[in-house]
Structure 1
Amino acid sequence: MAKEAGVVKSINGGIARALNDLTGEVRQLSVGDIVYQGEKIVTEGSNSKVTITQTDGKDITLIGKDTLTLDQDSNNNETVADISALQQAILKGTDLNALEETAAGGPQAGGNGGDGVSLSSTSFAEGGHISNIYANYGNLPDNGGSYISDYSAISGGRLNAQDAADIIIPPTPTVEFTRDTNNDGFLNKSENEANGDPNTTPVKITVPADANVGDKLEITITKPD
């Protein structure tokens, strides 16, 4: 008679099945069901989470699509230590190839196929899923990761000579009232009527020496009165 390996504590997010490779029996698991040594526990769905309480009181949790083969060493203290060591190595970013064979995955127990990861005699037929790993964010080590620097949308380039020429302020011509006899910069009524023609006001405009042929001169009278 097969020896009990544990009992199903919880099933969330999907279906869990127990497969017996020797008898070919397949049964769908429910909370409270007993699982036996030699059975293969299979979870389906990426959001699956199944927890099995072993006979020694310790829990094994499968997360996502995963496979776990139960045998006499599933609740062995050395196996638990190996799993803990592997979990800590993953959290620290350690190269798994550098771990000892017993911690990183030695020869698999018979009857378990696929490119899996073996932890002592407890085998995971599908890699890529980690079970029973819990850590607070503040406890995770700093592995020297790179961070994106502050983004700035400001960019620039060298100003060429042509662009510089385009932004040079043009020279300003001078405007002089020839009847401004007191040279105060203003033309009063008496000065404007000195020649007997109050409707005509002579103005002298001096063009800057660096003006070029084709330059446009604009004069705006802001106070016509």
Structure 2
Amino acid sequence: MYASRLRASVAACTRVLGRAGKKKSKPGKAKADDAPKGTQSPIQDKLNGMYLKALEAPKRPRPAMDSEEAMRAEALAKEYTRRHWLRHNAISADMNLKITRRHEALAALPEELRAIALRIPEDPMLPEDYRVVTERPPIDGWHRARVSQAAQELADADEFFKSQAALDSGVATGREAGEVSTLFGEVNEMDEEIEKARRQKKAS
């Protein structure tokens, strides 16, 4: 049915495009080229066939079976369909019941709490246990290890920036200030040694 409708629509579009491409001739000056021709060119027929072949699903060959096997297969198909519909109806009924209970709970709230409950966050965050769909099953504990490692790195970076801010503002502890002053002293000594070596080399 779908293929026949698609074939008819393709033919109709081709006819419309063919008519739109022709130029209207003035009355009384008809040419021999305006004589009715085929509906479309062989190239267009080939293209339409390619389109239809790409859109039509391949038909599966029916397996050869006797009357008893056919009756058993038909009974199995009917039972399969019936059980699937039972499961579908159960899932739909459960979902509708949850939605109904949710609406009833929202209607029972006070006006202020109802406004807060009905508010949709502008940028909702993903839940912590959100699982990304992958082609292969994830390794056990891999995601948790990555999260804990990233949290530790963030904590270390936060502590480092806090200590730097404390040093810049002049409120660092005595231990931090002593470590920084020792480091600066070592750097100054290295600079002095480098400058002394340059002078000796220049003098020689």
Task: Identify the TM-score tier after normalising by the shorter chain.
Answer: under 0.3
Q: Going by fraction, where is helix more abundant, 1 or 2?
A: 2
Q: Going by fraction, where is strand more abundant, 1 or 2?
A: 1
Scaled by the length of structure 2, what TM-score is found?
Answer: 0.19
Scaled by the length of structure 1, what TM-score is found?
Answer: 0.18
